[in-house]
Amino acid sequence: MVSIYSRGCDLETLNGLFKELRTIKGPYDVIFTGDFNAHHPAWGSNNSDAEGRAVIEWLDK
């Protein structure tokens, strides 16, 4: 299990983090949890922001 907190960094940094997270491999499934300070209707927000769209894109890969 990996827990992540993003204090509201720029989009380039967030995408770099997602790129690194995709490299995590092991003999077991990995669960990512966290507070990305991102907004998207997928998790109940009334609107979306660039960070929220980046999280959704990362989850879709």
Q: Which of residues 52 and 26 earns the better pLDDT score?
A: 52
Question: What is the Cα–Cα distance from 35 to 4, expressed in whole angstroms?
Answer: 6
The predicted pLDDT at position 53 comes to 94
Domain ranges of the chain: 1-34
Cβ atoms of residues 55 and 40 within 8 Å: yes
Question: Hey, is 33 helix, strand or coil?
Answer: strand
The per-residue pLDDT for range 4-47, each reduced to its tens digit, is 888 877 888 888 988 888 888 888 888 889 898 899 999 999 99
The predicted pLDDT at position 28 comes to 86
DSSP 44: T
Question: What is the Cα–Cα distance from 44 to 3, expressed in whole angstroms?
Answer: 20
Average pLDDT over residues 48-58: 93
- Per-position DSSP letters for 9-24, written without gaps between them: --HHHHHHHHHHHTT-
The predicted pLDDT at position 41 comes to 97
